[in-house]
């Protein structure tokens, strides 16, 4: 029964959005309510040297974007919340995709001025693939934004989800008065410029109270009553089951930078969001209530602390109880590993944990044993599904700028590509190294980190490649014959698997047509 209690206490979710929608600001305010941090300010403001708590790489602080998934745990109202703040920039979408395999629900942030943007659409596609429950937070109500009904229509049309507003704004921008909580049936009045947790809002619990008109004026009071009547007639009644099955998405309005609407979002979230769910492996479904521990690695990060050269594998606990200093079976390597200092995270703050339960994210110090997708168990051989590497879209040759640092460059490329942010291929003919990424900004991040963390310098040279795809064939002789025939266009990945480098769509199409026995794969999970 104790295990069931621990499971029901936990909520593991990711925050996703288009860049600049206010995702990192919202993250910071959630941490503030959870008591995980003590102060909040203008996140990444040029006037404020203090960077966002969740952005701990130097390049993130300089560029003002999140380029790596941050993991944070905190307690709120006797609930253990595991929050994963994902990169918003589309160049880092692969990291975000893998992170979404480790969460049970999602909060999506939308800018009320810009509405739904392209990256938001891509991220929601991933959520729909897994039927992940989504709560929408429409942010920046303190700015002049678009009509809230228009925003809801756009969310439904572009993201193909059915929305269910659980709060409603009273005007916005300069005349923004506050929000009415349809979930809690109360009015919350906005006070501009307030950034403290207490005394930031006035609560009015009766929608028919004369206090409403006294505080927001007759015009806004009448508009609010009209809007609520429309909402009740047009949008579905909230159903927790429909939300958890991904059929409807609750919508909240607020201003994260002003701490407004965040508490209501958090209170509702811990009431309705699912606790840790069953996970599928190739062998069977794993229920969190199972007594034996299982978990999978969804992210690897080298040099979180450059002074200590630490490499950490992020593991999602799926069932049972993870215990410090206990032997666990590494499925891919078929050997037991023990962890003396597993860690829990509050962004860059780390603490050693004695035990962890389903839904928790544990950091395991790693000397090179782990790859993304690896499984740990108490002896059973299991392989968790749905954590692939994608075929890259942009390619560049790696040129060593300092021959005296060749070993450092090789080690840096090996470790950084272990994180899954890029694919490293070795050309069969020349032995030259090629980096493939989903987004071009990855090259800048890798170059920066190679210099800062490994003391290695390199240049990247553009190469004309359309696609890199893994190849397989039941007949090993035919596979080798294809590789020999296409030797000028062949490479291997870090695992030694054959990779075909197609220079154009036509070249790929011809190779597929002329070699019907060869399978061409666009993710590494085949």
- pLDDT, tens only, 444-454: 888 888 988 88
Mean pLDDT computed over 491-506: 92
Distance of CA 319 to the CA centre of its chain: 21
Mean pLDDT computed over 10-15: 94
Domain ranges (residues) in the chain? 2-272, 279-377, 394-521
Distance CA 255, CA 191 (A): 11
Let me know: does 103 contact 279? Beta carbons within 8 Å.
no
If one compares 20 and 201, the residue with the highest pLDDT of the two is: 20
The model's pTM is 0.79
Q: Which residues, at least 6 apart from 16, have a Cβ–Cβ distance to it below 8 Å?
A: 23, 86, 88, 96, 100, 106, 107, 108, 109, 120, 123, 127
Of 51, 71, 53, 134, residue with least CA distance to 314: 71
Interval 38-93: pLDDT, tens: 554 433 433 344 445 554 455 455 544 443 447 888 899 999 999 987 765 454 45
Class of the CATH-defined domain 394-521: alpha beta
CATH for 2-272, among 3.40.50.720, 3.40.140.10, 3.90.850.10, 3.40.50.300? 3.40.50.300
Interval 303-355: pLDDT, tens: 655 565 667 889 999 999 999 999 999 999 999 999 999 988 765 567 899 99
Class of the CATH-defined domain 279-377: alpha beta
Asked which of 85-89, 124-128, 498-502 is least confident by mean pLDDT, the reply is 85-89
Taking each helix axis as running N to C, give the angle between helix 148-159 and helix 118-129, from 0 to 180 degrees, rounded to the nearest 10. Answer: 60
Whether 296 has a pLDDT exceeding 50, the answer reads yes
Identical fold, 2-272 and 279-377: yes
What are the C-alpha distances in Å from 195 to residues 98, 188, 259?
34, 15, 6
Whether 463 has a pLDDT exceeding 50, the answer reads yes
Whether 418 has a pLDDT exceeding 90, the answer reads no
Tokens of 328: 């666990």
What is residue 483's predicted lDDT score, i.e. its pLDDT? 94
Mean pLDDT of the chain: 85
């Amino acid at each position: 029964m104790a295990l069931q209690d621990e499971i029901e206490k936990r909520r593991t979710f990711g925050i996703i959005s288009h860049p600049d929608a206010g995702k990192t600001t919202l993250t910071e305010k959630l941490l503030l309510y959870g008591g995980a941090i003590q102060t909040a300010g203008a996140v990444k403001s040029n006037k404020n040297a203090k960077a966002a708590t969740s952005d701990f790489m130097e390049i993130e602080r300089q560029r003002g974007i999140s380029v790596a998934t941050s993991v944070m745990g905190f307690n709120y109202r006797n609930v253990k919340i595991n929050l994963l703040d994902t990169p918003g920039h589309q160049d880092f979408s692969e990291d975000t995709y893998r992170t979404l395999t480790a969460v049970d629900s999602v909060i999506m942030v939308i800018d009320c001025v810009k509405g739904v943007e392209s990256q938001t659409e891509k991220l929601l596609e991933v959520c729909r693939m897994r039927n992940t429950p989504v709560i929408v937070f429409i942010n920046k109500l303190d700015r002049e934004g678009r009509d809230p009904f228009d925003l809801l229509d756009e969310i439904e049309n572009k993201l193909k989800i059915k929305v269910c507003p659980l709060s409603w704004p009273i005007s916005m921008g300069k005349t923004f008065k506050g929000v009415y909580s349809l979930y809690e049936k109360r009015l919350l009045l906005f006070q501009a410029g307030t950034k403290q947790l207490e005394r930031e809002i006035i609560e009015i619990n009766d929608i028919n109270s004369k206090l409403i008109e006294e505080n927001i004026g007759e015009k806004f009071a009448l508009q609010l009553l009209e809007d609520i009547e429309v909402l009740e007639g047009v949008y579905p009644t909230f159903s927790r089951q429909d939300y958890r099955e991904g059929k409807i998405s609750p919508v909240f309005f607020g201003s994260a930078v002003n701490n407004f609407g965040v508490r209501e979002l958090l209170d509702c979230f811990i009431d309705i969001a699912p606790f840790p769910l069953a996970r599928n492996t190739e062998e069977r479904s794993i229920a969190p209530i199972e007594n034996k521990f299982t978990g999978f690695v969804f992210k690897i990060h080298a040099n979180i602390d450059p002074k200590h050269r630490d490499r950490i594998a992020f593991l999602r606990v799926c069932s049972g109880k993870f215990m410090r200093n206990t032997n666990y079976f590494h499925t891919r390597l078929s050997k037991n590993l023990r962890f003396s200092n597993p860690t829990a995270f509050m962004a860059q703050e780390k603490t050693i944990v004695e035990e962890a339960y389903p839904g928790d994210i544990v950091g395991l110090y790693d000397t090179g044993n782990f790859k993304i997708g690896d499984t740990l168990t108490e002896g059973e051989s299991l392989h968790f599904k749905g954590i692939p590497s994608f075929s890259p879209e942009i390619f560049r040759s790696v040129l060593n700028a300092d021959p005296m640092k060749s070993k450092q460059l090789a080690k840096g490329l090996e470790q950084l590509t272990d994180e899954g942010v890029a694919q490293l291929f070795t050309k069969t003919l020349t032995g030259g190294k090629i980096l493939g990424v989903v987004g071009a900004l990855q090259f800048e991040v890798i170059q920066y980190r190679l210099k800062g963390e490994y003391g290695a310098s390199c240049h990247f040279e553009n190469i004309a490649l359309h696609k890199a795809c893994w190849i397989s064939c039941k007949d090993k002789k035919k596979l080798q014959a294809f590789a020999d025939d296409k030797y000028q266009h062949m490479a291997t990945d870090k695992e030694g698997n054959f990779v075909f480098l197609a220079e154009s769509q036509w070249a790929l199409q011809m190779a597929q047509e002329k070699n019907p026995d060869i399978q061409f794969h666009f993710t590494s999970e085949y």
